[in-house]
């Protein structure tokens, strides 16, 4: 990181199927965050650090609601973060990593750089890279074709509701978080609309949804501070299909 003014911490790969939780998931996610924080303290040139966190930083039950919320509630950055050991191990690891960042900020009030985090919900749309191992892209393929190869995907069908955000909006949010000052300590929810999974399947097949969208995870703070205009969920879903 020598000579870097802006550093973006890309988090950990989004993995649903893990054989060894400690070595494949918890150590890289949590210890990796701890090691990174130690390293940036030793790099004097840094002015801004952006963490790509996850909606799991606020709710490890995602796509289920936190226990204190009902279908009529909206989740915001001001809500108390919800942690459940019943959540997916990936979500638990991301939650703990985010708590590690928060503790670092509290323990180091006089750092010379800013730390800002972004927490996207389900990232949808055509991949921005040529990699073939994207879990998000794989989930879209499964939903488009109504395939359920594991309990997590089956849960999406059973629950039949999911919050989405366009991958391009996430990229723009990261850029703006990196280049906008006075955002130290903030963590922005990145979310567009929530739809029934059955309607997501329709849109992935270039058909109109039968139901209406909801805003379960508020994007008001990201709109205000980062000047973002989130695309409707149909855009990334149609983009994936094109």
Using 50 as the pLDDT threshold, list the residues of the chain that sit under it.
none
As a whole number of angstroms, the distance between CA 53 and CA 227 comes to 19
pLDDT for the residue 14: 66
pLDDT for the residue 241: 74
pLDDT for the residue 17: 66
pLDDT for the residue 229: 96
pLDDT for the residue 13: 65
Query: Whole-model pTM?
Result: 0.93
As a whole number of angstroms, the distance between CA 208 and CA 198 comes to 11
pLDDT for the residue 16: 62
The β-bridge relationship of strands 162-166 and 194-195 is antiparallel
Domains and CATH numbers, the chain: 6-241 (3.40.50.720)
For 23-45, give the DSSP string: IIIIIIIIIHHHHHHHHHHT-TT
């Amino acid at each position: 990181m020598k000579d870097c003014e802006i550093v973006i911490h890309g988090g950990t790969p989004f993995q649903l199927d893990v054989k060894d939780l400690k070595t494949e998931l918890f150590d890289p996610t949590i210890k990796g965050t701890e090691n990174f924080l130690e390293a940036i303290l030793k790099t004097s040139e840094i002015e801004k650090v952006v963490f790509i966190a996850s909606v799991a930083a606020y709710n490890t039950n995602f796509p289920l609601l936190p226990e204190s919320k009902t279908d009529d509630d909206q989740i915001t950055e001001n809500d108390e973060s919800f942690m459940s050991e019943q959540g997916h191990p990936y979500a638990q690891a991301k939650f703990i990593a985010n708590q590690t960042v928060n503790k670092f900020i509290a323990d180091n009030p006089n750092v010379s750089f800013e730390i800002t985090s972004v927490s996207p919900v389900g990232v949808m749309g055509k991949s921005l890279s040529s990699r073939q191992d994207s879990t998000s892209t794989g989930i879209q393929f499964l939903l488009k074709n109504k395939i359920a190869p594991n309990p997590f995907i089956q849960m999406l069908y059973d629950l039949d509701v999911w919050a989405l955000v366009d991958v391009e909006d996430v990229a723009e949010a990261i850029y703006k978080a990196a280049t906008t000052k006075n955002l130290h300590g903030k963590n922005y929810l990145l979310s567009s609309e929530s739809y029934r999974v059955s309607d997501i399947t329709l849109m992935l097949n270039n058909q109109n949804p039968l139901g209406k969208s909801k805003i379960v995870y508020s994007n008001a703070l990201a709109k205000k501070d980062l000047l973002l205009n989130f695309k409707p969920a149909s855009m990334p879903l149609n983009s994936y299909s094109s």
